[in-house]
Amino acid sequence: MKQVISTDKAPAAIGPYSQAIEVNGCVYTSGVIPVNPATGEIPAGVEAQARQAFSNLSNLLEAAGTSMAQAVKTTVFIKEMNDFGKINEIYAEYFTKPYPARSCVEVARLPKDVLLEIEVIALK
């Protein structure tokens, strides 16, 4: 049985999808972008956006009863591959060893023209 996960501590879905779904002890998040859920604002700069996105993701996983430490796979979508190093440094502040498996892809455009989006699969 699947369970919908939702929190007001991460950006609300902006379409016909759930923030996250739990199935058989695994949590699958939708892509999380760097929108401040309290204000709707998007911070300026890739570092601030990365911190906001990872904070949102952490809050979403917490609402699901898990954490970043339980992440097994992440996918990071970035607007500019030249930002990879900056994003990677901040990523390492939120995930610990053993790090989850990860894919990182440069994309042409992201929702609300943000600079990154991240999704995760985590165990409960």
Give 121's strand partners. 28, 73
> Among the options 21, 48, 69, 104, which is catalytic?
104
CA angle 67–10–103, rounded 5-degree value:
60
3 state SS for 67-96:
CHHHEEEEEEEECCHHHHHHHHHHHHHHCC
104 included as an active-site residue: yes
Task: Label the pairing between strands 116-123 and 71-78.
Answer: antiparallel
User: Maximum Cα–Cα distance for the chain, whole Å?
Assistant: 41
Q: State the catalytic residues.
A: 104
